[in-house]
Amino acid sequence: MSIKTAAIIGAGVAGLTAALSLARHGIRTEIVEQAPQLGEVGAGLQISPNASRILAQLGALDEIERHWAEPDEIRLASGVTLKPLAAVPTGELARKRWGAPYGVLHRSTLQQSLLAKVLHNPLCSLHLGCRVELPDRTEIERLIGLQPDLIVGADGVWSSVRKLIKDSPKVSFSGNIAWRFTTAAAEAPRFLDPVNVTAYLGPNSHLVAYPLKEIDGFNIVAIAAGIDPGETWSADGNAGQRALLLRQFSGWNGEICKLLASIEQATFWPLYEASSGRWQNGRDTVLIGDAAHAMMPFSAQGAAMAIEDAFELAGEVAGTLPLPEALSHFETARKARATRVRHRGSFNKFVYHAGGPVRFGRDLVLSLRSPQSLAGDLDWLYGYRARG
């Protein structure tokens, strides 16, 4: 083993998964989080088999499965007519084909399940309310009271640890924002599917809806062009921004427009993308999750990529290679994986937001694809087995 201790900056999904993954190899971790307590951030998320397999290995999946829902399918439908276009089977097929389940849940369910495992692990220590103002070793060592062998930047899009790495990625606003809100099942319009994930596709925008068992309702995300509110995880939409949202969906099905117009409480978050750049400093510091490769959510892989990063990083640094070589190997392997996922997301954006003649061609092609062939297209993504 090349290291004995690690400081992890950030206690989100990436940071907590990294702590459990490192502890699995006997490595002590000190987790530094600026928030005074870990509460709800975001709303629903999707956990695909490539990530749920890792959660099972970390002993966290059983608790999560008690709260999540497993859709039978991931459906694509027209946002104009509500007509079904295609479907990828999940449910039992996911367990059989990819060896792990596909579930939807509230982000806080995942975070609290990981947190409970961390708090009960003697090798993990959590420091809340500790902000890394000046990202350097001296500041980090002061906060945790020891000199770590490894510093892990799991602090998201606006990472401070990124500043410790020369030529690290830069982040920029994509021009798109994601509106998110929930609605109770009793108040939901009838077109919302109470079992499956459905992506409604339309010109220059799309909307994703799926059930959340924890709230007996639905999670709804609408992605379209918007104005950058600055460095924030979420912002409340003012009247002007809501009006812009309704204009962007004005040509959609009337039921969807009515749903968006009825929103009483909705927040949005700006979608940032990371450029290419170095993820590690060649010595003792590395980035994971959005800090390294923030990308558009068109493949629903944000949480999954963070979980994969954390698990594979632990496997690399717990091996026999010297730490600098282990970090270099991690960076090379994970960059290739993240790049492929990013390309898939770009393809999905083109397909989801198509308009005019391209939209008609898309609908025709999708209608000719069988569910099994669509599932086969995702074998490389959902069937991936991270090495930890």
In whole angstroms, what is the distance from residue 316 CA to residue 8 CA? Answer: 16
In whole angstroms, what is the distance from residue 261 CA to residue 251 CA? Answer: 14
Reading the block at residue 48, the tokens are 């695909």
Look up tokens 């990530």; give the residue.
51
Count helices and strands in the chain by DSSP H and E runs:
14, 15
Beta strand ranges found along the chain (DSSP E): 5-9, 28-32, 44-47, 73-78, 84-89, 103-106, 124-127, 150-153, 171-184, 197-202, 205-212, 217-225, 235-236, 267-274, 285-287
Residue 58 class from Cβ within 10 Å (0-12 exposed, 13-18 middle, 19+ buried)? buried
To the nearest 10°, report the CA torsion of 373, 339, 383, 311: -160
* β-strand partners of 181: 220
Which residues, 6 or more positions from 153, have their beta carbon under 8 angstroms from its beta carbon?
Answer: 9, 10, 159, 160, 161, 162, 164, 165, 285, 286, 287, 288, 291, 292
Active site residue 272: no
Q: Which SS3 state, helix, strand or coil, does residue 288 take?
A: coil
In whole angstroms, what is the distance from residue 281 CA to residue 336 CA? Answer: 18
* β-strand partners of 221: 180, 208
- Amino acid in position 124: C
DSSP-assigned letters across all residues of 40-104: --S-EEEE-HHHHHHHHHTT-HHHHHTT-B--SEEEEEETTT--EEEEEE-HHHHHHHSSS--EE
Return the ∠ at Cα 195 (arms to 193 and 199), rounded to 5°.
50
Catalytic residue, from 102, 210, 352, 382: name it: 210
329 phi, psi to nearest 5 deg: -65, -40
In whole angstroms, what is the distance from residue 216 CA to residue 291 CA? Answer: 33
* β-strand partners of 188: none
- Amino acid in position 309: D
Q: Indicate which residues carry an active-site annotation.
A: 210
